[in-house]
């Protein structure tokens, strides 16, 4: 039965090698399969011409290579493209490609919805259902590559950067995210530099401590507030892991990382008259003074149902100036894909909120 077939896209490079050994083959076959899938975009075993015919027949009996299908595609005037992918059960996750002159950055999702529920984020408002599998995460990169080119297609510009900043909190899906990172970095797969793979977190401190020295990719911290009182409102996870604890975990991660060049990226969404005053900028300077970092200022991307507003340009500029004058590397993020709801904080997909359903059932019972 098809449901019994092993989806090779769910396996890390190491697991793929172990699989081939388990069926009586040499482990190097995994390298050939990885190249066919992730460098040439081939999912039909019959087209893998450097495999023996009997091996191809065996793989067809045991395995499948399956990524979620793209069901909708939207493109903004600036070239930003958003895809919705079907992960079954009537649910969709969203992936965004941001093209620039020197790179193609792909923003991918790691969960169906998000359990963190930051107050300004449309994804959290959709609720949360489950973690995405390895094939559902790496499959987003695969599907995007079918549109912009795989690494072996020199006539097209392949994906150069992958950021886990889409739907979900990556560190709450650690096992699968780790395998996806291994696939992104493998020389036989997408072969990205560790500095071009970024995991973003809202601050799951214990998990960040756990992966320090083991998962070496670029790190971004979604901070959004200069103190615990405000961050408790904006990022509810802060009530469990306050800023001081999170920043200690960030320092620990940086100490053991080569990918970050000693610096974390601080993501700070600017909300009009909420966290964007010059006084709050000065407070942020004091908070981050001992944290090697660069700061991305992200003007809030408005969406239906949110009570927050984007600050005026003058408020954004004043906030920026305080940080810049204090010696920080500061970037004012340009909004991309806003008209197709592809900008930061706007991804929603289609989520059946399992947590909400469980809460309702608990009340009934």
Contact partners, residue 229, CB within 8 Å, separation at least 6? none
104 forms beta bridges with: 99
Please state, in angstroms and rounded to a whole number, the distance separating the CA atoms of residues 320 and 239.
27
pLDDT of residue 364: 33
Q: Are 258 and 216 in contact (CB under 8 A)?
A: yes
CA of 216: how far to CAs of 9, 132, 178, 182, 185, in Å?
22, 21, 10, 10, 10
Contact partners, residue 325, CB within 8 Å, separation at least 6? none
pLDDT of residue 122: 82
Angle between helices 174-185 and 134-148 (to 10 degrees): 40
Catalytic residue among 63, 118, 181, 344: 344
Q: What is the pLDDT of residues 231-251, one digit of tens each?
A: 999 999 999 999 999 999 999
pLDDT at 288 over 80: yes
Average pLDDT over every residue of 67-91: 92
Strands (E), 128-257: 128-131, 161-164, 197-201, 218-222
Catalytic residue among 15, 73, 94, 100: 94
Q: What is the pLDDT of residues 100-151, one digit of tens each?
A: 888 899 999 999 999 999 999 887 777 888 999 999 999 999 999 999 888 7
178 vs 304, more confident: 178
pLDDT of residue 363: 39
CA of 265: how far to CAs of 80, 185, 271, 273, in Å?
22, 20, 19, 23
| β-pairing verdict for 329-332 and 293-299 | parallel
pLDDT at 180 over 70: yes
pLDDT of residue 215: 93
Please state, in angstroms and rounded to a whole number, the distance separating the CA atoms of residues 221 and 109.
16
Q: What is the pLDDT of residues 121-131, one digit of tens each?
A: 887 777 888 99
Please state, in angstroms and rounded to a whole number, the distance separating the CA atoms of residues 97 and 54.
39
Tell me the DSSP string of 25-82.
--TTHHHHHHIIIIIT----GGG-TTS-HHHHHHHHHHEE---PEEEEEEE-TTS-EE
Strands (E), 228-328: 264-270, 293-299
Q: What is the pLDDT of residues 191-214, one digit of tens each?
A: 999 999 999 999 999 999 999 999
Q: Are 51 and 32 in contact (CB under 8 A)?
A: yes
Q: How confident is the model at residue 341 (pLDDT cuts 50, 70, 90)?
A: low
Is 94 in the active site?
yes
pLDDT of residue 365: 37
Q: Are 98 and 336 in contact (CB under 8 A)?
A: yes
| Biggest alpha carbon–alpha carbon distance for the chain | 70
The average confidence (pLDDT) of the chain is 90
pLDDT of residue 184: 97
Residue 247 is inside which H or E element, if any? helix 243-255
Is 107 in the active site?
no
Residue 7 is inside which H or E element, if any? strand 6-7
pTM, two decimals, is 0.91
């Amino acid at each position: 039965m098809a449901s019994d077939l092993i989806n090779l896209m769910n396996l890390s490079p190491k697991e793929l090698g172990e699989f081939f050994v388990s069926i009586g083959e040499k482990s190097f076959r995994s390298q050939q399969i990885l190249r066919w899938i992730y460098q040439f975009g081939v999912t039909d075993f019959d087209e893998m011409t450097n495999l023996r015919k009997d091996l191809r027949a065996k793989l067809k009996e045991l395995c499948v290579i399956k990524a979620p299908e793209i069901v909708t595609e939207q493109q903004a005037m600036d070239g930003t493209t958003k895809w919705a992918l079907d992960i079954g059960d009537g649910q969709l996750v969203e992936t965004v490609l941001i093209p620039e002159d020197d790179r193609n950055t792909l923003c991918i999702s790691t969960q169906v919805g998000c359990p963190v529920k930051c107050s300004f984020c449309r994804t959290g408002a959709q609720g949360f259902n489950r973690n995405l599998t390895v094939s559902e995460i790496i499959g987003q990169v695969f599907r995007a590559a079918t549109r912009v080119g795989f690494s072996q297609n020199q006539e097209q510009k392949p994906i150069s950067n992958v950021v886990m900043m889409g739907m979900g909190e990556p560190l709450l899906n650690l096992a699968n995210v780790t395998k996806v990172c291994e696939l992104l970095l493998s020389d036989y797969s997408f072969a990205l530099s560790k500095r071009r793979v970024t995991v973003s977190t809202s601050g799951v401190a214990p998990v960040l401590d756990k992966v320090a020295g083991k998962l070496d990719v670029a790190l971004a911290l979604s901070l959004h507030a200069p103190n615990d009182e405000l961050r408790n409102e904006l990022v509810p996870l802060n009530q469990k892991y306050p800023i001081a604890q999170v920043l200690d975990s960030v320092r620990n991660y940086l100490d053991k990382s080569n990918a970050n060049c000693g610096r974390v990226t601080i993501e700070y969404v600017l909300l009009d008259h909420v966290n964007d005053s010059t006084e709050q900028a000065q407070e942020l300077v004091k908070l981050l003074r001992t944290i090697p970092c660069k700061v991305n200022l992200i003007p809030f991307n408005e969406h239906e149902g949110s009570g927050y507003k984007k600050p005026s340009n003058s408020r954004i500029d004043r906030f920026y100036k305080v940080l810049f004058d204090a010696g920080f590397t500061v970037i004012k993020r340009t909004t991309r894909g806003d008209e197709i709801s592809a900008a930061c904080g706007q991804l929603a997909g289609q989520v059946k909120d399992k947590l909400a359903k469980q809460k309702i059932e608990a009340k009934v019972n």
